[in-house]
């Protein structure tokens, strides 16, 4: 058995051809160089082809990866989504156990009665209630109390920068105009009507609204454009 090249698995050049192969001499008497061995050539060609296939396979995997989203994009999306949910969860939109605005000691207090708006959805004709806004050294506290709501429904309320007679309160009040449209730059209250159709909520903000927030509007949380009622504060 002929020895093999351990690095290629092919027969070594020295032993690739039969040892009995006659040596060819030219007429000049000099030895003619031996032609490349067929077995050695075939073996090396096979190894080269295998290597090319392996490289081709790696290349395909690389291009395939480029056509797919990076593996980190999914986790990034999840992270962003989670971050968004955490931001919403961290927003102060009401605490039913907080001290109501009309009971905050030493505060400057104003209040207003809710009046129905033409934009209210059907079934909201009996909504009534009162809102209070208190300002103290600790900031602003807003409380609302309503009846005549649809039992079990979710509602939203916001402080507004204009009176109820001006486009139903106009735009939301903002501490920094043109800033974020969410708390704490705005004052929002979210609450659910009980089985009797009553709803009450209190929210606190570290900053004082001054006389910038002149009204408060309530509407179903599912349909923001259907403003139910508005109350002007009696500054």
- Measured CA to CA, the distance from residue 90 to residue 183 in angstroms comes to 9
Top pLDDT among 64 and 93 is at 93
- Percent of the chain with pLDDT strictly greater than 90: 60
CATH architecture of the domain 101-232 equals Sandwich (2.60)
Residues 70-96: what's their mean pLDDT?
Answer: 47
Could you state, in order of their start, the residue ranges of all structural domains in the chain?
1-68, 101-232
Q: What are phi and psi of 181, to 5 degrees?
A: -95, 25
Cis ω for the linkage preceding 231 (within 30 of 0): no
Top pLDDT among 80 and 203 is at 203
Least confident stretch, 62-71, 123-132, 136-145, 196-205: 62-71
* Count, residues in the chain: 235
Residues 96-121: what's their mean pLDDT?
Answer: 98
Top pLDDT among 70 and 49 is at 49
Q: What is the dihedral of CA 207, 211, 212, 218, to 10 degrees?
A: 90
Closest CA to 187 of 198, 197, 166, 201: 201
State whether the Cα torsion 96-97-102-106 is positive or negative: negative
Tally of CB atoms within 10 A around 24: 10
Residue 18 falls in which region: left (phi positive, over 0), alpha (psi -120 to 50) or beta: beta
Helix, strand, coil proportions of the chain in percent (round to 5)? 25, 25, 50
Chain centroid to Cα 21, Å, comes to 78
pLDDT in tens, 10-51: 444 444 444 444 444 444 444 444 444 444 444 445 444 444
Q: Which residues contact 201 (CB under 8 A, 6 or more apart)?
A: 94, 95, 96, 143, 144, 157, 189, 190, 191
Q: What are phi and psi of 201, to 5 degrees?
A: -155, 150
Least confident stretch, 44-58, 102-116, 133-147: 44-58
Closest CA to 220 of 90, 127, 86: 127
pLDDT in tens, 151-169: 999 999 999 999 999 999 9
């Amino acid at each position: 058995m002929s020895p093999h090249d351990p690095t290629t698995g092919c027969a070594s050049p020295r032993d690739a051809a039969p040892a009995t192969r006659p040596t060819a001499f030219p007429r000049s008497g000099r030895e003619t160089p031996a032609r490349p061995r067929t077995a050695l050539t075939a073996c090396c060609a096979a190894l080269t082809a295998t290597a090319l296939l392996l490289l081709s396979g790696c290349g395909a995997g690389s291009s395939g990866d480029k056509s797919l989203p990076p593996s980190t994009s999914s986790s990034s999306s999840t992270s962003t989504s989670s971050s968004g949910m955490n931001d919403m969860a961290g927003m102060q939109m009401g605490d039913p156990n907080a001290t109501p605005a009309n009971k905050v000691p030493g505060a400057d207090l104003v209040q207003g009665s809710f009046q129905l708006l033409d934009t209210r959805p059907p079934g909201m004709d009996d909504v009534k209630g009162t809102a209070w806004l208190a300002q103290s050294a600790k900031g602003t506290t807003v409380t609302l109390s309503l009846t005549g709501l649809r039992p079990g429904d979710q509602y939203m309320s916001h402080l507004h920068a204009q009176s109820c007679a001006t486009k139903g309160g106009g735009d939301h009040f903002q501490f920094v105009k043109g800033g974020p449209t969410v708390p704490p730059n705005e004052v929002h209250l979210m609450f659910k009507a009980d089985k009797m159709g009553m709803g009450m909520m209190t929210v606190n903000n570290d900053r004082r609204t001054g006389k910038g927030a002149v009204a408060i509007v309530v509407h179903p949380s599912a349909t923001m454009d259907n403003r139910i009622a508005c109350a002007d504060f009696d500054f």
